[in-house]
Structure 1
Amino acid sequence: MSKTAKYWLLSISIFTAAVSLSYFIGIRINTSKSFPPGIYIVSKANSYKKNDLVLFCPPNKAVIQDAIERGYIDTGRCESGTVPIIKRIVGMSGDYVEFTPAVKINNSELTGSIRLQVDGENRALPQLPPFTVSNNSFFAYSDHAPKNSFDSRYFGDVPIENIIGTIRPLALFPL
């Protein structure tokens, strides 16, 4: 094997090892628009609460399959067939959610939370009726980019067991 081939093989091996190690210790790259693009770190927690920023797998529902087909969420390793997504927990088990058209949780309106009727291509978006967040579930919302986020306004509550962990930015990419 030539010296150049050995160099490239070693370089590729080191790069692969670094990427694998980064993933193993919880480093993730966000390229979605729901939260700023950048490098994030995931941490496991014993419990989760309102205002936690979390990485989770969307629920395995027909509406999520439609979201994949429409390009709202990328395909990935979650049971639902998507990549894990980042959202903020704004409602927990027992909280009452209504749409007026803004989202209200326990009669408190979420800033910028207007639920759209159609997407950018004039396709109807799911319109959930008011509901109480189920036991051991949460309501997920993007307070960074609420207008364009596909979140619990459209797919409902999410089981807490779908949470991979809390997530925080390490380095954000300039837009």
Structure 2
Amino acid sequence: MDAMRRRRIIGILFMVEVAGALPAMTCSVVGYRFNLTASAPRGLWRIEAMYRSAAVGDLVFICPPDTATFENAFGRGYLGLGLCPGGLAPLLKTIAAIPGQHVTTGKDVVIDGKHLASSDIRHTDGQGRAVVPFAGGTIPQGYLFLHSTTANSYDSRYFGPVPASGLLGYARPIITFHF
């Protein structure tokens, strides 16, 4: 399928989703976001402005870049629709590495020689489809390596570092549920 056709399909799906999820979209516009994924507790979250540079350990909302990798992730159901470029929802992840840090992948993720907790690498998703882990390397300037402790999370273990320019702000829970 060519890129233009994919964009049209995504646009149509986006319009259908908007009609069915206008309240959730309104919350996103005014700085709130519903998280319905397992990457973090489900519920209502607030997006707070960042008044300093992003740091390891910050829990953030960040827009994924508008790339074929994320279009494919959307097609597989890893990502939802939202107001980010490409019509995707922002990611809710913890920053695990910042520019200059070195990431290696094998059985799990190692950052600057230290194993990252809850970072086992999978080679198939929940439906048995192949997933390719990030090859590793030094995080370049302007990029961040994201992580979630959920075993089946789609995070930088698989898509690699993402542009920090997509940062929307800190993620602060308002009302969350653990189920």
State how far apart, in whole Å, the 2-side matches of 1:158 and 1:23 are. Answer: 21
Instruction: Say if 2:172 is the partner of 1:155.
Output: no
Structural RMSD (CA): 1.9
Task: Look up the equivalent residue of 2:146 and give its one-letter code.
Answer: A
Give the conservation status (yes or no) of the 8 Å contact 1:45–1:165.
Answer: yes
Could you tell me which residue of structure 2 aligns to residue 3 of structure 1?
A: none
The ranges of structure 1 where at least 4 consecutive aligned residues each deviate by more than 6 angstroms after the TM superposition are: none
Task: Look up the equivalent residue of 1:103 and give its one-letter code.
Answer: V
Give the conservation status (yes or no) of the 8 Å contact 2:59–2:95.
Answer: yes
SS in 1 for 2:85: coil
The 1:34/1:174 distance shift into structure 2, 3 A limit, reads: closer
Q: Give TM-score, length-normalised by structure 2.
A: 0.80
Gaps of 5+ in 1: 1-15
State how far apart, in whole Å, the 2-side matches of 1:23 and 1:118 are. Answer: 32
Could you tell me which residue of structure 1 aligns to residue 169 of structure 2?
A: 165
Give the conservation status (yes or no) of the 8 Å contact 2:64–2:162.
Answer: yes
Task: Look up the equivalent residue of 1:96 and give its one-letter code.
Answer: H
Kindly state the Cα deviation for residue 82 of structure 1 after the two structures are TM-superposed.
Answer: 1.3
Larger Rg: 1
Give the conservation status (yes or no) of the 8 Å contact 2:134–2:156.
Answer: no
Could you tell me which residue of structure 2 aligns to residue 117 of structure 1?
A: 123
Give the conservation status (yes or no) of the 8 Å contact 1:30–1:39.
Answer: yes
Q: Give TM-score, length-normalised by structure 1.
A: 0.82
How many matched pairs?
156
Gaps of 5+ in 2: 1-21
SS in 2 for 1:164: strand
Instruction: Say if 2:29 is the partner of 1:56.
Output: no
Deviations, residues 13-59 of structure 1 (Å, cap 9, x unaligned): xxx89x84x54542211111100001111111132111000001112
The 1:102/1:41 distance shift into structure 2, 3 A limit, reads: same
State how far apart, in whole Å, the 2-side matches of 1:33 and 1:80 are. Answer: 22
